[in-house]
Amino acid sequence: MLSKPNGSTTNHEKVISVAVNVPLRRLFEYRLAADYPIPPQVGQRVTVPFGKQTKTGVILAISSFEDYHGDLPVEKLKFITSILDEQSLFGPSLLKLYQWMEKYYHAPPGEIWQTILPSELAKGKPAERSRDSIWQITQQGREALAGNQVAKNAIKQKLTLAKLNENRHGILHSRLADYDIQYTTLKTLAGKNWVLRDFIDALPIAHDQITNLPNNLVLTEQQTKAIQAISQSLEQYQTFLLFGVTASGKTEVYLRLIEQVILQGKQALVLVPEIGLTPQTLKRFKDRFNVNIVVLHSGLTDQQRLQNWLQAKSGDAQIIIGTRSALFSELFSPGIIIIDEEHDQSFRQQQGFRYSARDVAMVRASFENIPVVLGSASPSLESLINVDKNKVRRLDLTEKAQSQTDVKFRIIDLKKQSLINGLSRDLIAGIRHHLDAKSQVLLFLNRRGYAPVLLCHECGWSSLCQRCDIHYTYHHQSHYLQCHHCGSNRKAPTQCPQCQSEQVVPVGLGTERLAEAVTALFPDAKIARIDRDTTRRKSAMNDYVDAIKGGEIDILIGTQMLAKGHHFPNVTLVGLIDMDGALYSADFRAPEYAAQLITQVSGRTGRSSKAGEVIIQTHHSDHPMLSQIIHSGYATFAESAIEERVEAELPPHSFAAMFQAEAPFVDPVKTFLQDTKQILDRYSNLKVELLGPCPALYTKKAGKFRYQLFLQSVNRNQLHQLLSLTMNDIESLASAKKVRWRVEIDPVGDS
């Protein structure tokens, strides 16, 4: 019932429903004064009083007083403090997408918006384009560069001048990061009159020619077919799975499609894995297109991100390349969405609002009436099942673009071998053989640090992280212990903390130790270790890749950072040092992930004219997945993996949701999940199976105990119905206030 408006309200006042960033599954209602100068629209940001604070939120509904049926009488509602945007920041498709996500993920509206909005906008900063400027090299600068007038040790200055010299039209100030140029260097150079800065009002007009096509690249028949199939549905929604073996030229397919989209005056959105957005990837796009390309990833400053986002929104950017959350760019005229390496786990957000960028991209594209291309040499079982259900159309590239020879696989059974620091004699001989042939070798070990455990030989003490109950990894060079689970670290002891013995020894093998062992075995080889520890510096990865491509490195040692997307034509041997951990794990997805990893790592060899070889070391040489991958390929493995999931009624054949709770003590965690279970049990007519509560895979993390409750059903609608019916009650449980909890839809892994 409508409460009687008192004297201070009029019928022209509005009630505005706002998403505020709090972990509650509801909107908050406010009044808007009748004479407020900006008309309210769904999708505008507002500031509102919230408790004693002022918060930024997003308008999601506007109603008249008559239509308001909230709990509070209308005159008790507080007033909106201000409307921040003249107009909605979002078009109808993204607003619809938000609504879909809210319903599907059962997530708090404010949390979702926190993910959609670039952080500057979430903080309430104005959605304003900054005036850009262009840096150019001067004639004096050119002379200085040519005449070697730059001081010998001023390497940055020299590099910067060289880059500006290459880019005759200059480099936009907003893009300095893309070129790894620092503002401070430019200021020094400007002081010498070697560079100058011009402020501009509009971005420079692109060339009349959109692309620079490479000479004599003839598309393969399969590439042509794929491009044709996708071009035919550029004006409508359809998801394609471009299932192309490694080095089959998937990127070339993307580039041709993007060209068509741009010619139609539309924009292309390209999502790549977190570690896939290397300067090399970007260079491939920049070399091909004379259009405005913007990137969106976590390496940018908040302001750069905002500026790039605004260029996507205004249509000034024709190509938007980014990681997961770039999916939420507002686009002026979307034409296609491409997800490269669609199987990659980084497309799943694992904190805050948890979503799958692949799934959401398909929904977004259907709202926009545009195609999605999912590309991979090792597609997710999700996408392959969608092919079986006719939801996704599969296009195959079965041949490598440049190489005719097959990659040769060898499995080394470690049970029958003595090892030298983790390396079998056969692998060592293989490395020598390939080095002698002047080729490069890649050794893959997915464990950084020196050793996964530090152990006392006398008393058995081992380096346990008390907060997580798992071992600290020992890092030798900096001599510290780091928990790779919670991130905490401390100095490594030289004496056993328990018995004071000096016999504390590292046990097991990480990349740091492997590099040491390989250096001892091949003292003349140039070795590069590439993992998170050696690539902290921003341009480090880029420098390594240049060195590898330039032939300055003989042996590359690395984690999964090396596994994906790189094109190193001279690598002919890939050694997988230890696949045991990946083969056996409590996660039912472990074989799928391991198969993807092996496919991707192996794909780094044999990419050009030289024949490639892969050597896999394992104690489980008879694991069925290994022989499938080696003898019949990923597709055959995937078929049998899908069969297993169907039989066991596991996702993606069935549908799952998970409640996870954590707290410093176990009891409140269990109580909350028991209470949750009781509420869910009220609807036993719905065909949803409840499993748990049970401890999470990592039961303790950073001092908190973690338990979970699984919901599983072959009927997706019933699963969602159950959650819709119960979420409010669960959220209001008294026991919910004593833990940190969340619900996760289509959960993966444990994090």
Binding residues: 456, 459, 465, 468, 483, 486, 496, 499
* Residues in region 362-381 near ligand ATP by CB under 6 A: 377
What is the number of residues in the chain? 751
Site for ligand ATP in 127-166 (CB under 6 A): none
One-letter amino acid of 343: H
Report residue 474 as tokens: 């020992």
Element (H, E) at 411: strand 408-413
* Helix, strand, or coil (residue 511): helix
Q: Which of 360, 483, 545, 719 binds Zn ion (CB under 5 A)?
A: 483
Surface-to-core class of residue 191, CB atoms within 10 Å of its CB (0-12 exposed, 13-18 middle, 19+ buried): exposed
Please report how close the Cβ of residue 400 comes to ligand ATP at its closest, in angstroms. 7
Bridge partner residues of 46 (DSSP): 57, 83
CA distances 665 to 96, 702, 710, Å, are 41, 12, 21
Closest CA to 522 of 471, 561, 575, 568: 575
Alpha helices in 106-208 (DSSP H): 109-116, 119-122, 139-146, 155-166, 183-191
Minimum distance from residue 490 beta carbon to Zn ion (Å): 11
Exactly one of 44, 222, 248, 278 binds ligand ATP (CB under 6 A); which one? 248
Region binding ligand ATP by CB under 6 A among candidate stretches 35-43, 249-257, 478-486, 650-658: 249-257
Site size for Zn ion (CB under 5 A): 6
Interface stretch with ligand ATP, choices 164-172, 211-219, 232-240, 666-674 (CB under 6 A): 211-219
Q: E strand or H helix at 288, and its extent?
A: helix 279-288
Identity of the residue, 89 or 470, whose beta carbon is nearer to Zn ion in the bound complex: 470
Pairing mode, strands 371-376 and 195-200: unpaired
> Closer to Zn ion at the Cβ: 481 or 688?
481
Annotated binding site for Zn(2+): 456, 459, 465, 468, 483, 486, 496, 499
Of 338 and 470, CB closest to Zn ion: 470
Least distance (Å) between residue 703 CB and Zn ion: 8
Q: Which listed option, Zn ion, ligand ATP, none, makes contact with residue 252 (CB within 5 to 8 Å by class)?
A: ligand ATP
- Give the Cα separation of 325 and 4 in Å (integer): 45
The region of 28-36, 292-300, 482-490, 707-715 touching Zn ion under the rule CB under 5 A is: 482-490
Type of residue at 565: G
Q: Give the residue, chosen from 532, 567, 738, 740, that forms a contact with ligand ATP under the rule CB under 6 A.
A: 567
Whether a cis peptide bond, with omega within 30° of 0, leads into 693 is yes
**Choices 141-149, 299-307, 361-369, 465-473 (CB under 5 A): range interacting with Zn ion:** 465-473
618 touches ligand ATP by CB under 6 A: no
Partner touching 676 among Zn ion, ligand ATP, none, CB below 5 to 8 Å by kind: none
- Buried b / exposed e over 646-658, threshold 16 CB at 10 Å, is eeeeebbbbbbbb
**Dihedral angle of Cα 614, 344, 693, 725, to the nearest 10 degrees:** -150
Q: In angstroms, what is the minimal distance from the CB of 187 to ligand ATP?
A: 38
Task: Report if residue 465 touches Zn ion, rule: CB under 5 A.
Answer: yes
Q: Is the peptide bond before 652 cis (omega within 30 degrees of 0)?
A: yes
Q: Which stretch binds ligand ATP (CB under 6 A): 104-112, 181-189, 248-256, 289-297?
A: 248-256
**Phi/psi of residue 180, nearest 5 degrees:** 60, 40
- Closest distance to ligand ATP from the beta carbon of 263 (Å): 20
Name the residues that contact ligand ATP, by CB under 6 A. Answer: 217-220, 223, 244, 246-252, 377, 401-402, 565, 567, 603
Q: Which residues in this chain contact Zn ion in the complex, by CB under 5 A?
A: 465, 467-468, 483, 485-486
